[in-house]
Amino acid sequence: MSAAGLVGVLKPDQVRVRLVESDDIGTVGVGEATLPQMREFNDRIGIVESEMMRKTNATFKLGIEFRDWGFRGSSYVHPFGAHGHPMGGVGFHHQWTRARLAGEAHDIGDYSYAIVASRRNRFDFPAADKSAVNSTYDYAYHFDAGLYARYLRDWCEARGLTRTEGKVKEVRLNPHSGDVAAIVLESGEAITGDLFIDCSGFRGLIIGGALNGPFEDWTRWLPCDRALAVPTERSEDFTPYTRSTALEAGWQWRIPLQHRTGNGYVYSSSFISDDEAATRLLGNLDGKPLADPKPIRFRSGRRTASWTKNCIAVGLASGFLEPLESTSIYLTQVAVLTLLDLLPRGPIDPVLAEEFNRVVDNEYDRVRDFLILHYHANTRTDSELWRHCREMEIPDTLREKMALFGHRGHIAQYKDGLFSPPSWLSVFVGQGVVPTGYHPMADTL
């Protein structure tokens, strides 16, 4: 994805891009869910939607369904779109809160076009006319992660990308500056460069291995540290949404693709064994498994400085916030687009590196708070994990957001950050955090 961003935007006479990768090192996951921002990325670099979907067995996605998260038996959808329309100068949810406090209890999801369509397994492209009710939502994709990686490689090579097959054996540093001087492959070839983008996954070969970049561990807030992924045969019609079902020690995903369904169990090893997790996952599948469960180990957190020296860590090498809410590809996209905005003209500029790290850190921190909300705001009493999450200390930034919304339905709007007020609204209400008051302007209607 990093190579695609650079090759798709920059001209060959501006910069030379060389990709080093090995077919022996696979991608993480058997299915991948995305967010609407991916469409913006594709549009910017020139990827054609219909071609990409055909070659990756992709389906459309209107949001994410959450089952059993707030409490057992609960269900809500986080849609890629708005709830209702602002009235009286304030957000629609203030009118909804006013009606609810007056005894008129309506499901807020009934006022979301994307949610209603999802519940009926329907999809259509948003209308171009912004005054139309069916213009109030967006969409994303589900696709095969392996096919997507191959598609991007072919797309890049067709546009002049130089690709080298190989594994990195050694990272050589400049003894005076501490910058990366070269990476040495197992073949013995030494590859030099001005800027190195570390896309080596959880290993972080350059940023963590050679440069010893510190990692900020957020396991105390996001306790899930393992996953099992397994593909199954399709068992029902396409659902235009990802499904996330809370289980005793984590949650299970379901991602519908054209040719199969991606499934997985994300769990905390502190609350369930690997064997128990595998048994639980296989017992919950709605189709025949096509492979054995693939184990994945991770820890949630981020590098304290993704741009260090002349190395920029992108994707899993930079950080990871578990698969919940499909943020991994988005965070990769943010890093790539921010790099394009701040690309140095000559030697590495510390001012640009500092700004890059500020932007990336803000994105991670705000996504972190959004994910913690799902775990913390629950009333489940059936397992130790959920009691732990409900009682744990949370970041001050999230505590303030919850207090503001609970007091009067106020949702802070930031210039930067992935999740906008409609997303926070859907998860707040879905998890049982409802306002006890509303904006006084709602009384003017």
Residues 368, 37: contact at Cβ < 8 Å?
no
Q: Write out the two tokens for 399.
A: 């505590």
Q: What is the 8-class DSSP label of residue 70? A: S
CA-based radius of gyration for the chain:
22
Which has the closest alpha carbon to 345: 3, 10, 58? 10
Task: Give the number of other Cβ atoms within 10 Å of residue 357's Cβ.
Answer: 18
d(CA 422, CA 111): 12
- Helix, strand, coil percentages (3-state) for the chain, rounded to 5, are 35, 20, 40
61 a catalytic residue: yes
Residues 372, 394: contact at Cβ < 8 Å?
yes
Distances (CA, A) of 143 to 16, 33, 155, 212, 242: 30, 7, 16, 34, 11
Q: Could you give the count of Cα atoms lying within 13 Å of 134 in the half-sphere of its Cβ?
A: 9
Residues 215, 333: contact at Cβ < 8 Å?
no
**89 Cβ neighbours under 8 A, 6+ residues apart:** 441, 444
55, 61, 401, 415: the catalytic one is 61
**CA-based torsion, 104, 122, 236, 30: positive or negative:** negative
d(CA 341, CA 381): 47
Three-state SS for 229?
strand
The H or E element spanning position 227 is: strand 226-232
Phi, psi of 214 (to 5 degrees): -60, 150
List active site positions. 61
